[in-house]
Chain A
Amino acid sequence: DSGVTQTPKHLITATGQRVTLRCSPRSGDLSVYWYQQSLDQGLQFLIQYYNGEERAKGNILERFSAQQFPDLHSELNLSSLELGDSALYFCASSPGGMTDTQYFGPGTRLTVL
């Protein structure tokens, strides 16, 4: 158990809908990262937050957004969902430094029908 929690574990929804994925980092960690794992793209970095502020953006679509709250939990919002958004979404956390190891949560499997 990495100490990172993600809810829900599974999510099934329809095209055009909006969903919210939630992540709680390890105790004491200030950085939260979101990654997407799909069959065609593999594991890709989406976005990073550090202590409530956006620090870096990767291959995140405009339909996707995220935020980190004062209690350091983070939410990834996916809207106008398409079939191609079906993937495993991981959250990872680290203390916050540039050299930190990232510890991953169990992931949320999103299926868009």
Chain B
Amino acid sequence: AQKVTQAQTEISVVEKEDVTLDCVYETRDTTYYLFWYKQPPSGELVFLIRRNSFDEQNEISGRYSWNFQKSTSSFNFTITASQVVDSAVYFCALSESFPYGNNRLAFGKGNQVVVIP
């Protein structure tokens, strides 16, 4: 069963528009961590944000913000005032200690974001 679902495969926006990426996760753990990573065309995986399961406060960091809702198992990510450099694939990932006892990451399939100038 897929632990992390990112339903939208490709999202196109015009520069300066906001873009929100949806992530739904599945876990039986009570303590877990959620991440967003960015993979630009150059291929590397860049860490963006992290949230733990016991802190539902939503935050903003620059043009990035995230909305964590434990009740719906969702961890959505928003880029405000998108720029061409935001064009990339964005991955949501889950780290849980059960049942494996280590913090391996389970990734969603990614959202391809295309920002049109």
Contacts and interface: CB of A to CB of B under 8 A. Distances in A.
Nearest to B52: A99
Interface string A78-104: 000000000010101010001111111
A56 interface: yes
Chain A contact residues: helix, strand, loop or mixed = strand
Interface of B: 33, 35, 37, 42-47, 50, 52, 91, 95, 97, 100-110
Contacts of A25: none
A18 interface: no
Taking residues whose C-beta sits less than 8 angstroms from the other chain, chain A's interface range is 20 to 34
A20 interface: no
A107 B102 contact: no
A90 B104 CA distance: 13
Contacts of B50: 101
